Chains A and B, each alone.
Chain A
């Protein structure tokens, strides 16, 4: 007994001095992180994680997970519900803190106030019941893409309001079709009945000052004049300035149409820029980006907040090391590297004025405003019911787009359904 207790004490001392000793015989731990599924996203994450592993003498395993957001969430749900320690660090979508928050540790104790550098909206989004459950990693927001050559050719300017966009789109579309380009459409976006439509429709509503479906206190606010005006405008688009197929378009379908030169305007995430400017693109050099237009003169420029965060699981066997990995990956240096090498939008405000970052991505400067004014989906107030809320919302939007419901009726019914859903609180 005496020998073993001596050994225990000895190993404890060894462990304690590991951090101070430097290149001692330190035993590293293995941290597994799920961050991205394929291609560049996986690669650049792996590079960052390996660099941390080198520095701290640990090892890192990068686990690849389904690429689709919904599949990934389902997977995480099952793992976390079972209390599995298979994954230590999770890359989570911006709408998941409310749903998964209870399974993650409070990171504020581990990052020493680093969260103050990041965009306030995201940090707030990631704080559930006073606990910072995830650190912001990279940000996304909806943007307006336009064909600068077509606008110039037909003497139109970049629209500043949704009404103006509708007009311009129609005008250019008609003119182009008269010129013989009969596959031209005015505006493509994500109109399929899925989470992407929630993002699009939320942008329309918020632009008209219609709020964000459910406010921060959990009240259902979606049925208001601003929202009604937004939906009324949107209901005029399908088959007029947008092809009927838009009702089943996700990000890629819309990009396919825009990139082959058959649309004047597109709403999409920032990733489409690099692809539109690539060598294979039919519209290379002819594309511009702007913030999404306002809902009329007293509306606002907005974009739905997207992006991913890093969280540490409560069931991890090495939470300290895992939290340190998170701290490293979300730090200024790493975010700057990712911005320059792979155009991932950083969540640290100061980086948008960094010369090297701007040299690599000139349009980041324009994006800054959008990111600061971005509207978050109501995942925090609605918590575990967010997916249901989103489902109801996108179904209402889809009905309005496809002409199956009048905007006012759809919104009234949506309000009623959301109230029923929250009858016992969120």
Chain B
């Protein structure tokens, strides 16, 4: 490798720039979360106080632990349901050719083309009709509209890539399609399911508009809504310290999850994206 000193320094500067660009805002949010009162308005970029007051008041002034629990319940349920529906649909769409398959895939894709706000009034009607307003069920149901299309598409793509011989052998032995899915495909689809599961989890965890519209009381809110509606002692106050503290609390677990699974995400996207 004949790379010159200049090229190597340039390369490392580039890496530094990328890291700073990606991480600085989050670092600054952490800094701000440890400041309170007038210190909050200082713009020093080095840590100068370690005041936990903001974190305390985040949990004190609203049922934040309840909000986190709600988010977890909704996200996990959405992932579970999406994966189940996704795998079953992907088996049909990926392994069996029938008339209307292409059209069906396109229709599912088109669901993603509608803005969230478009389904708001219809969804509200539905939620009230089912009597699930102001409960996690409303969110679980409405988030499916976000996660099902791409879950089905990605899992279908993976399913298509699996070799035919596995299936044929099983059918010869007299297995039912459901057994084939359960015993043969599911173990093989494991990396793909982790990837789509994680993507669905993040989508449901971050979701804002439906959570804002379908919850009423602060105990039923999810984390993004709780943060957006965080307020200070009076109607007009915006408690930046608390907002930053809440943001840090919410982001750290997601970041950990992503870091743990990051290699799987890349390999997952590899197989899906390029062949698609």
Which residues of A are interface residues toward B (Cβ below 8 A)? 36-41, 63-68, 71, 74-75, 78-79, 82, 84, 86, 250-252, 255-256, 260, 269, 271, 275, 280, 282
Q: Which residues of B contact A256 (CB under 8 A)?
A: 41
A282 touches B38 (CB 8 A): yes
Q: Select one of B133, B134, B217, B229 contacting A67, CB under 8 A.
A: B229
Shortest Cβ distance from residue A333 to the other chain B in the assembled complex, whole angstroms: 24
Binds A, one of B84-92, B234-242, B267-275: B234-242
Q: Which residues of A contact B212 (CB under 8 A)?
A: 66, 71
| A-contact 0/1 string along B6-46, CB 8 Å cutoff | 00000000000000000000000000000001100100000
Q: Which residues of A contact B55 (CB under 8 A)?
A: none
B234 touches A40 (CB 8 A): yes
Q: Which residues of A contact B41 (CB under 8 A)?
A: 256, 260
Q: Which of B61, B216, B232 has the most CB of A within 10 A?
A: B216
Q: How far is the CA of A66 from the CA of B216 in the complex (A)?
A: 8
Shortest Cβ distance from residue B219 to the other chain A in the assembled complex, whole angstroms: 9
B229 touches A68 (CB 8 A): yes
Q: How far is the CA of A36 from the CA of B233 in the complex (A)?
A: 11
Shortest Cβ distance from residue B139 to the other chain A in the assembled complex, whole angstroms: 15
Residue of A nearest to B237 (CB): A252
Beyond the given A39-B234, A78-B213, could you list 8 further A-B residue pairs with CB under 8 A, ordered by the A residue number?
A: A39-B61, A41-B235, A65-B216, A84-B128, A252-B236, A260-B38, A271-B236, A282-B38
The answer to whether the Cβ of B218 comes within 8 Å of any Cβ in the partner chain is: yes
Residue of B nearest to A75 (CB): B216
A40 touches B236 (CB 8 A): no
Interface of B is mostly: loop
B229 touches A71 (CB 8 A): yes
Interface size on B, as a range, is 20 to 34
The answer to whether the Cβ of B53 comes within 8 Å of any Cβ in the partner chain is: no
**In the complex where A68-B229, A251-B236 touch, is A280 in contact with B216 (Cβ < 8 A)?**
no
The answer to whether the Cβ of B185 comes within 8 Å of any Cβ in the partner chain is: no
Q: How far is the CA of A240 from the CA of B52 in the complex (A)?
A: 41
B213 touches A38 (CB 8 A): no
Q: Which residues of B contact A71 (CB under 8 A)?
A: 212, 229
Q: Which residues of B contact A282 (CB under 8 A)?
A: 38
B233 touches A67 (CB 8 A): no
The answer to whether the Cβ of B231 comes within 8 Å of any Cβ in the partner chain is: yes
The answer to whether the Cβ of B137 comes within 8 Å of any Cβ in the partner chain is: no
Residue of A nearest to B232 (CB): A39
A-B residue pairs in contact (CB < 8 Å), sample of 16: A36-B235, A37-B235, A38-B61, A38-B62, A40-B233, A41-B234, A64-B218, A71-B212, A75-B216, A78-B213, A82-B124, A84-B128, A271-B234, A271-B235, A271-B236, A280-B37
Residue of A nearest to B38 (CB): A280
B216 touches A269 (CB 8 A): no
Residue of A nearest to B124 (CB): A78
Q: How far is the CA of A372 from the CA of B197 in the complex (A)?
A: 61
Q: How far is the CA of A282 from the CA of B38 in the complex (A)?
A: 9
Q: Which residues of A contact B38 (CB under 8 A)?
A: 260, 280, 282
A252 touches B61 (CB 8 A): no
Which 5 pairs between the two chains have the least Cβ-Cβ distance? A39-B233, A67-B231, A251-B236, A64-B218, A252-B238
Q: How far is the CA of A38 from the CA of B64 in the complex (A)?
A: 13
Q: How far is the CA of A67 from the CA of B226 in the complex (A)?
A: 11
Q: Which residues of B contact A82 (CB under 8 A)?
A: 124, 128, 133
**In the complex where A63-B216, A78-B124 touch, is A250 in contact with B236 (Cβ < 8 A)?**
yes
A86 touches B134 (CB 8 A): yes
Q: Which residues of B contact A250 (CB under 8 A)?
A: 236
Q: How far is the CA of A271 from the CA of B213 in the complex (A)?
A: 29
Q: Which of B216, B232, B234 has the most CB of A within 10 A?
A: B234
Residue of B nearest to A251 (CB): B236
Q: Which residues of B contact A74 (CB under 8 A)?
A: 213
Q: Which residues of B contact A79 (CB under 8 A)?
A: 216
Q: How far is the CA of A68 from the CA of B231 in the complex (A)?
A: 9
Q: Which residues of B contact A271 (CB under 8 A)?
A: 234-236
Q: Which residues of A contact B216 (CB under 8 A)?
A: 63, 65, 75, 79, 86
